[in-house]
Structure 1
C-alpha cells in the first residue's frame, strides 16, 4: 500500500462488524489529509479482531426479525456491542504502544435495512464507546445518505476508488461478507457500485444447520457437492437480482426463511448439494453483474470473508471465463491490503472525511441527491 509521511496525518481507528455476525474487525491507520487519491498516504499501524461470543451473536440474530420487546433487546445489544468495540480499540492501542487516536469510525451492526421505506438501522451505543475509550467516535454513517434520497449503501465504493483506483485501468472490487457488493472502478475514473445479492449469509446458515459450524472453511463442504440446476434457477428468479442499480439489500431479504421457500420441492436433496448450489448462487450473482457492468475489467479483487472461500473464488474465475470476461480473480492482498481489513479501513477513512467535513458517499452509487458529509460525532 502507498505510504507517505505527512505533517497533517492523523491516526484513526476503523471498526466493522458485518452481516456475517462473526465478530468485529479493527484497524488503526495513519492517514494523510485527505486520502482522496491512490498515491495518498495510508499506513496501517495495528489490526485486531474480537469474535462475538455466542450470546451476543444470538442477540443480533434475534433482532434480524420482529420479536417481542425489540426496543429493550436492541438497547442491550447496543451496550454489549459498544463494550466489544471498546475491547477491540484497547487491543489496537496496546499493539500500537498507546498511540494517540484522533477519532474512531464505527459502522455498528445492521439489524434493519429498508431504504425503500426511508430508514436503515445500525445498532450501537457510540456514546458509551466514547466514554469507554476516551476518543471521539463517528457513527451512523448511512442515514444522511438515505435522508438525501439514497440507498445508504454501499458506502465502500468511494473508499475503493480513493485507494484502489488506477487511471486508465478498469477493475472491480468485490466485497463478499454476509451480503456481496461490487465497486466498478472504470478506466475513465467513474465509479459505480451496488449490492449484488447474498455473499456468505445463506451458506453460513446452511452449514450451521447441518454441520454445526459457523462457516464452510475454504468452501470444502461445497466443493464435495454437486449443483442442483433447478434449485439454482429458482434462486436466480429472485426479483432483486433483476433490479437496476442503485440498489442495496441485506438479511431483510436473504435469510433462512427465504431459502426454505426456495427448497420447497427439493426436500430430498442432499444437504451438501444444497451447499454447492448456494456457493454457485453467490458466485453467479456476482459474475452476472460484473459481466453487465464491468465486462472490460482486467481484475476482480475480492475482500471480506468470501476471500477465504477457495471454492467460491474458483467458481468466480470459472464463471467469468464462461461469460468471456478476461478478469483475473485475486484477493486485495495483492494490492497490499489484507481482505479482512478493507471494510474497517473504509470506516476509518469515512471518519476522516467527517472530521474534514468532506463528502463520504458517491451519489452515482447510492442514488442520493449529491455528496453528503456522513456520520454523527460523539465527543470523548
Structure 2
C-alpha cells in the first residue's frame, strides 16, 4: 500500500487543498483511493502578501521568505487534518507532493517560482516532502506547465476522446487519448483566465470572494466590444505548448481594457468575463479536439453553474454533441483532482519515474520532476 499526500494552492489564492490517497500504477493506468480530503483557508494577511508578491516591490526577498514560511505552516495544518481524518500516522505516508504558490511564471525567461519552504514542511510533518516540480521541465526547455495532463491521461482516459478542463484561477485543458491507445499523444495547454478575473471583479465591487454559482454574472449581459478587446490579447492566438498566470492576466490587464469603455454595468463586466473564460477555452478545445466525446471539468469552475451552461452552449453552437460535466461523473470530485495530481507526481519522483509530457510542455524530453526534503 503506497500512501501519498498531495497539496495544491492555485492562482485563486483561496487556500490549500489536500488529499491523502492510496495510489497504484500499472500498465500505464492509475488507480486512486482517496482516504481523506481537506481544505485550509489562507489567512487574510498571507493572501495579501501573496498578491503583493505577484508584482515587483520593496524587499521582495524578505517578504517571499515570510510568505514561504507561513504557507508551509498552512500546508502542515492541512496535512494534520488529513492524517487525523483518516486515522493515519506520518510514518505510514511515503511522501507529500506540495505544489507551492506561484508568484512568478516566466518560462520565456527560463524560470518559474513557486514559493514554499519544503524543509519547514518536512520538519512540521515528519514526512518526506517533494517540491519544485516545474523547474526541471523549464530547465529542459519546457513551459513547466501544465503538469496535470500526464496524470489526467492515466486516471481519466476512457473509450473515446475525452477532454479534462481544469478551471482554477487559470484554465487549462488536457486532450486524452482513448484508453489502450498508448501510441497516441496526450496534449494540453493553458487556455487563458479561469476564475481569477471573475473573483477579482466580484471582490472589488461586492466584497465577495467569488461569484457563487455564477449568479451575479447571470444577471448581466455580455458587452461584445469589451469581449472582442479582451480576446484580442496575443496569448489567445498562440498554439501550444503555452502557459500563463497572473503575470499576464491580472487587475492591471483588465483595467487597461476597461479604460477604453465608459459607463459599463458591473454585472455586465462579470458576464463578459464568464464569456471570456468560456469562449477562449472552447475555441482552444475545438481547434485541437473537434471530435471530442466528452468534456469533464475540475477546479472551482465546475461549481459555477452559469459558466458550465455557457461551456455547453458554446460546444453545441460549434456543432459538437459532447456534454460538459464535472469530473465527479467519472469518479473524482472536481476539488480533489489537482491535489491528487501532485500526490501522483510525488509517487513518480519516489519511484524515479518521469512526470512531464514533452508534447504538453515543449521540454526536450521527459524528466523526473521535483526536489526532495527527507523527513
Q: Is this a same-fold pair by TM over 0.5?
A: yes
Q: Secondary structure at 1:281's aligned position in 2?
A: helix
Task: Determine the C-alpha separation between the residues in 1 that align with 2:259 and 2:47.
Answer: 28
Compare 184-193 and 70-79 and name the one that shifted more. 184-193
TM superposition shift of 1:98: 2.5
Alignment partner, residue 340 of structure 1 = 335
Q: Which of these residues, 169, 173, 179, is aligned with residue 178 of structure 1? A: 169
TM-score (norm 2): 0.97
Matched-pair contact (CA < 8 Å) for 2:171–2:192: yes
CA displacement at 1:35 relative to structure 2? 5.3
Post-superposition Cα deviations, 1:15-74, rounded to whole Å, max 9, x if no partner, equal 000000000000000112x35634x43211111000111111001100011110000000
Cα contact 1:35–1:162 (8 A) shared by 2: no
Is 2:370 the counterpart of 1:375? yes
1:303-331 Cα shifts (integer Å, max 9, x gaps): 00010000000000001111112210000
2:209 corresponds in structure 1 to 214
1:72 is matched with 62
Provide, for residues 316-349 of structure 1, a one-character-per-residue CA deviation record: whole Å limited to 9, x for no partner: 0001111112210000001110000000000000
Moved more, 184-193 or 217-226: 184-193
How many angstroms apart in 2 are the aligned matches of 1:36 and 1:111? 36
For residue 280 of structure 1, what is the aligned residue in structure 2? 275
Distance in structure 1 (CA, Å) of the matches to 2:26 and 2:336: 17
**Cα distance, 1:265 vs. partner?**
2.6
Which of 263, 266, 269 does residue 264 from structure 2 map onto?
A: 269
CA distance in 2, matches of 1:119, 1:65: 15
Query: The residue matched to 1:339 in structure 2 has which SS?
Result: coil
Q: Is the 8 A contact 1:36 1:163 kept in 2?
A: no
Segments ≥4 residues shifted beyond 6 Å: none
Q: Residue 45 of structure 2 aligns with which residue? A: 55
**CA–CA separation in structure 1 for the residues paired with 2:157 and 2:57:** 43
Structure-2 change in CA distance of 1:180 and 1:36 (3 Å): farther
Aligned length, in residue pairs: 369
Whole-Å Cα distance in 2 between the matches of residues 116 and 265 of structure 1?
A: 29
1: CA distance between counterparts of 2:245 and 2:357?
20
Q: CA deviation at 1:234?
A: 0.4
Describe the shift of the 1:36–1:73 C-alpha distance in structure 2 as closer, same or farther (beyond 3 A): farther
> In the TM superposition, what are the counterparts of 1:175-254 in structure 2 within 5 Å?
175-187=166-178, 188=181, 189-254=184-249
> Could you tell me whether the CA contact under 8 Å between 1:35 and 1:42 is conserved in 2?
no
- Whether 1:92 aligns to 2:82 is yes
Gaps of 5+ in 2: none
What is the alpha-carbon root mean square deviation over aligned residues?
1.0
Corresponding position: 1:157 with 2:172: no
Question: The residue matched to 2:130 in structure 1 has which SS?
Answer: strand
State yes or no: 1:103 paired with 2:95: yes
| Structure 2 match to 1:16 | 8
Relative to the length of structure 1, the TM-score reads: 0.96
Alignment of 1:108-123 (within 5 A): 108-123=100-115
Q: What's the counterpart of residue 29 of structure 1?
A: 21
